[in-house]
Structure 1
Amino acid sequence: MRISELDGKRVAIWGYGREGRAALAALRWRLPGRPLTVFCKPEEVADLEAQEDPMLSIRTEVDAAALSAFDVVVKSPGISAYASPKIDAELNGVRFTSGTAIWFSENAGAHTVCVTGTKGKSTVTALVAFLLRAAGERTALAGNIGLPLLELLDVQPPPDAWAIELSSYQTGDAVRPTVAVVLNLYPEHLDWHGSEARYYADKLKLVTQAQPGIALLNAADARLRELGATAAAQGIRVQWFNTEDGWHVRDRWIMRGGRAVLDVKFLPLPGRHNWMNLCAALAAVEALGIDPVPLVERVVDFQPLPHRLQRIGEREGLIYVNDSISTTPHASIAALDWYPGKGTAILVGGYDRGLDWGGFAERVAADPPGAIITMGQNGPAIFEKLKSIATATKFVLRESNSMEEAVRLAQEALGSRGTVLLSPGAPSFPRYRDYAERGKHFARAAGFDPEQVGSIPGLGVR
């Protein structure tokens, strides 16, 4: 649905986070003077009132009846598509759209690399933009990575290419991406999607529904191998990374087929999972028809994204690593793979959305860290799951009620040497606005300037 199609209709915006603010700005820019309604939180009313827009109505209570007064509702991605009052309003004839869907309608024909996956999608999207810019392409970096697409609605001149991160909330809104990249699948966001099966199905809409020119998939993921076979049978052009004849990691080398391209010791990206992320980005650039081999050495200048195994400093013999982006147990396992052994104290826990910590427990039993500090809503459940393992393998296991207490307990467990690793394996809300705020709180609790963790580099058009 294009913005021009909203003219003359009763339109509301539901949600006033960054996506909602971008939607309001875009609609007001293209449809000046049209009546609009925003459904927001009470604490957001003052910001909307400050705009002094006489054609803007502000409402803080939302239900099916309120939504049903509109022809079209632009919904923020964090609001579940599978719960009331959205589904009830839909039955009453309300049409729902999103900022992502509007952007794709407005930019049909744009050269887009759309990236999704449970882990690594932000890093891969940023790497794609970095490599394309290194190749001389004017490239936009946007989407779920931190810049809503509608904030770049009328960029002039248009970018040569778009590197777009899409969450599982947004993949169903993409239309004909030039390259659709799916990295991996692990259970996540079950509260939003309602079930693990639906989460996978929604994630894979980037291939099954979006009609990509090329589907680029991870050959190491069994579900994606199955998807690739199905997609190819439907006529979708499928390409792979993590294959011996394509981009993959062998020992400590980035490989293109049988050719060793770069020793990973030169990369600023810690962890084997990040080396595979680079392979995905290189394969995506190659899928666009650009030879990435001459660009590989430029990756040494890539600035890693904050809150992703980010070393924020050392104090009194202890190194502090911020992996606040870790929102699944699998991500915490990957963090422990990079910081293994008794010299690490890991902080885990946050919002409980019903994910299974069994795999994490198995990993800890096989190679225990020095300490595990649990925190957050699911902290007690994680503590109980690990209690017998801690006794058997003799690592320190403690419960905490705050970030400050968690850091103090980790410091006490390690003494004067080791790594304090924040890798929660769970979402940050409702305690924090987002994972970035959680990462900053960790930095402050460890005695560092919270602003030093920084913002995501490279957003926008360059």
Structure 2
Amino acid sequence: MRISQLEGQRVALWGWGREGRAAHRAIRSRLPDLPLTLFCSGTEADDARGLGDTHLQVMTDASAEQLGGFDVVVKSPGISPYGEAASAAMARGTRFIGGTALWFGERAGSDGVVAHTVCVTGTKGKSTTTALLAHLLRAGGHRTALAGNIGLPLLELLDPPQPPDYWAVELSSYQTGDVAAGGGRPEVAVVLNLFPEHLDWHGSQARYIEDKLKLLTEARPRVAVLNAADPQLLALPLPGSEVRWFGREDGWHLRGDDLYRGDTFVMDTLPLPLPGRHNRGNLCAVLAALEALGLDATALATHAAGFRPLPHRLQVLGTRGAVTYVNDSISTTPHASLAALECFGARRIALLVGGHDRGVDWSAFAEAVAHRPPAAIITMGANGPRINELLALPASRGAFGLAAAGDLADAVRQAEAALAGEGVVLLSPGAPSFGPYRDYVERGRHFAALAGFDPDAISAIPGLGVA
């Protein structure tokens, strides 16, 4: 859907975070006089009214009746279309889209393909993968945009002063359906992995997988770059897309820590600034995507040595005495917490887990830590008691200390005490931050401050925008 197609329709915005404000600016850049209604919180309403937009009505009651009075609602990604109010409005004919749909609608060619655009999604690793893709493209001399779920809404780059040669776009499961909704097709789509996630937004694991895969099944990319180790991807029929696999011996894959293209050795990945073997494996996805764009991936691979790791993703904050503090606040699944544990070998680890409770099953986590226990596990947050109860069962008990914390500050204190002066305090919660924190960034910043490090010095995402 192009923004011009909103002309003459009853249009509302829902949400006034960064995505909502970007949608407002984008619509006004094309349709300055289009009547708009904004649904937002009471605390956001004054900010929106302060814009002085005489064609903008601000409301705080996003009820089914109110939403159902519009033809199109441009909603922020964090708002689920499966909620009661949205579902009822949809049944009355209201169409819900995100800003991502408008961006793809503006850029789609006659066949729907958005040239030189690579979209990356997956339950785990998508931000690092997208940033690494942009880094390698730029190292090859290509002006590249890094945007999307990684921290810069696509609509903020609707009309960049210097158009990029390539677009590296991260999409969450909240956004993947918007590509086709906007009438767009990425030139390349990368799917890294699929694990249970965001069940509160999607309503079920099956719907999460279905929504995630809309980037493939509905958007029909020219080339789909897929993980050969994921059985759900292996079984997926994709008519209309060329499929290229990574993690398979006839393509880009790892043998131990060595990177291969088919049977050709390329380099040792162990020295690369990519935390965790899973991230070094995702380098294979990036190189397969570069090949799909027609570029010399082998020549670009060595530039991975200059990559700067992203904040809040297995981020080593520093060491005090003999205790190292690692910020993996972006970890929102139990699987991600297990992957984080694997990064530190035989070191003594005090792991901090727990946060917002979305009903995710932690039994596989409990089984794994029983067989390969850290020094201690400290549970916290809304789902902390449920995790603690599971880990306390005889079947789950490994040789690790188990404690419950009232909050993050208490968890850090207990972790330091458990390590007795030597080891790793690892914040890898395996759950969202909602409740005490606005987002994982705020949680990671608080952890850094509690550990005695400057939150401002560890939070910036390098390379956002066009460079």
TM over 0.5: yes
Aligned match for 2:442, one of 437, 443, 448: 437
Q: 1:300 maps to which residue?
A: 305
Equivalent residue for 1:210? Answer: 219
- Number of residues of Structure 1 aligned to a counterpart in Structure 2: 458
Question: Which stretch shifts more, 306-315 or 127-136?
Answer: 127-136
**Using a 3 Å threshold, how does the CA distance of structure 1 residues 392 and 330 change in structure 2: closer, same or farther?**
closer
Matches of 2:257 and 2:89, distance apart in 1: 54
One of 125, 147, 153 as aligned partner of 1:148: 153
| Matching of residues 50-61 of structure 1 within 5 Å | 50-61=50-61
Asked if the contact 2:37/2:57 (under 8 Å) is kept, the reply is: yes
Secondary structure (helix, strand or coil) at the match of 1:421 reads strand
1:190 to 181, 186, 199: 199
SS of alignment partner, residue 300 of structure 1: helix
Q: Distance in 1 between matches of 2:86 and 2:168?
A: 30
- Name the CA shift for 1:215/1:155 in 2 (closer, same or farther; >3 Å): same
- Measure how far apart 1:176 and its partner are: 1.0
Asked if structure 2 preserves the Cα contact closer than 8 Å seen for 1:342 and 1:371, the reply is no
| 1:127 and 2:132 matched | yes
- Out of 271, 276, 279, which is 1:271 matched to? 276
- Which residue of 2 is the match for residue 284 of structure 1? 289
TM-score where L is the length of structure 2: 0.96
Alignment of 1:241-390 (within 5 A): 241-341=246-346, 343-388=348-393
Bigger drift between 64-73 and 284-293 goes to: 64-73
Q: Deviations over 1:207-260 (max 9, x none)?
A: 111011011100011111111xx11xx242111000111111111211111122
In structure 2, the partner of 1:6 is 6
Unaligned stretches of 5+ in structure 1?
A: none
Give the Cα–Cα distance (whole angstroms) in 2 for the partners of residues 71 and 204 of structure 1.
Answer: 26
State the TM-score, normalized to the length of structure 1.
0.97
Give 1:341 shift.
4.6
Closer, same or farther in 2 for the Cα pair 1:346/1:382, shift >3 Å? Answer: same
Contact 2:390 / 2:396 at 8 angstroms: preserved in 1?
no
SS of the residue corresponding to residue 388 of structure 1 reads coil
Pick from 138, 141, 151: which aligns with 1:136?
Answer: 141
| Contact preservation (8 Å) 2:385, 2:404 | yes
Q: Aligned to 1:425, which of 421, 430, 437?
A: 430
- Are 2:173 and 1:171 equivalent residues in the alignment? no
Query: Which structure 2 residues correspond to residues 55-70 of structure 1 after superposition, within 5 A?
Result: 55-70=55-70
- State the AA in 2 paired with 1:334: A
The gaps in structure 2 that reach 5 residues or longer are 109-113
In 2, distance between residues paired with 1:24 and 1:389? 55
- Shift, 1:134, TM fit: 1.4
**Cα shift readout 1:132-159 (whole Å, capped 9, x = no counterpart):** 1112211111111111100000113421
Alpha-carbon shift at residue 34 of structure 1 (Å):
2.5
Q: Is 2:103 the partner of 1:94? A: no
Match of 2:18 in 1: 18
Distance in structure 1 (CA, Å) of the matches to 2:395 and 2:18? 42
Take 1:432 and 1:79, find their aligned partners in 2: how far apart are those partners? 17
Q: Which of 404, 407, 415 does residue 412 from structure 2 map onto? A: 407
User: SS state of the match for residue 345, structure 1?
Assistant: strand
In structure 1, distance between residues paired with 2:315 and 2:441: 12
Q: Deviations over 1:323-366 (max 9, x none)?
A: 00100000000001112456100000001101111111111011
Provide Cα deviations, 1:253-279, integer angstroms capped at 9, x if missing partner. 111111221112320112110111111
CA distance in 2, matches of 1:380, 1:242: 38
Please tell me whether the aligned partners of residues 441 and 459 of structure 2 are also in contact (alpha carbons under 8 angstroms).
no
Percent identity between matched residues is 61
Secondary structure of the equivalent of 1:456?
Answer: coil
- Structure 1 CA distance for aligned equivalents of residues 120 and 250 of structure 2: 22
CA distance in 2, matches of 1:341, 1:4: 58
**Is the 8 Å Cα contact of residues 77 and 98 (structure 2) preserved in structure 1?**
yes
Rate the CA distance shift 1:239–1:388 in 2: closer, same or farther, 3 A: same
Are 1:428 and 1:435, in contact at CA under 8 Å, matched by a contact in 2?
A: yes
Q: 2: CA distance between counterparts of 1:251 and 1:65? A: 57
1:61 aligned counterpart, secondary structure = coil
CA distance in 1, matches of 2:459, 2:94: 41
Cα RMSD of the aligned pairs, angstroms, is 1.4
Q: Which moved more, 1:98-107 or 1:84-93?
A: 84-93
Counterparts of 2:394 and 2:122, CA distance in 1: 31
Give 3-state SS (helix, strand or coil) of 1:184's partner.
Answer: coil
**SS of structure 2 residue aligned to 1:101:** helix
> What residue is the counterpart of 1:105 in the other structure?
105
Q: Give the stretch that moved more between structures: 327-336 or 444-453.
A: 444-453
Report how far residue 392 of structure 1 moved: 4.5
- Alignment of 1:30 with 2:35, yes or no, is no
The whole-number CA distance in structure 1 between the counterparts of 2:242 and 2:395 is 48
> AA paired with 1:368?
P
Alignment partner of 2:232 out of 223, 226, 234: 223
User: Could you tell which deviates more after superposition, 355-364 or 389-398?
Assistant: 389-398
Q: Is residue 201 from structure 1 mapped to residue 202 from structure 2 by the alignment?
A: no
Distance 2:328 2:258 in 1: 24
The CA distance in 1 between the partners of 2:140 and 2:47, in whole Å, is 41
Cα distance in 2, alignment partners of residues 25 and 94 from structure 1: 22
Give the ranges of 4+ consecutive aligned residues of structure 1 lying more than 6 Å apart after TM superposition.
Answer: none
> In the alignment, is the contact (CA less than 8 A) between 1:340 and 1:367 conserved in 2?
no
What is the distance in 2 between the residues matched to 1:389 and 1:159?
57
Q: Is the Cα contact below 8 Å between 2:38 and 2:57 reproduced in 1? A: yes
The one-letter code of the counterpart of 2:19 is: E
CA distance in 2, matches of 1:428, 1:69: 34
Structure 2 Cα separation of the partners of residues 394 and 374 of structure 1: 16
After the TM superposition, which of the residue ranges 371-380 and 107-116 deviates more from structure 2?
107-116
Cα distance in 2, alignment partners of residues 420 and 389 from structure 1: 25
Partners of 1:171 and 1:370 lie apart in 2 by 39
Q: Deviations over 1:174-206 (max 9, x none)?
A: 121101111101001111111111111111111
Asked whether the 8 Å contact 1:341–1:367 carries over to 2, the reply is: no
Residue 389 of structure 1 deviates from its aligned partner by 5.2
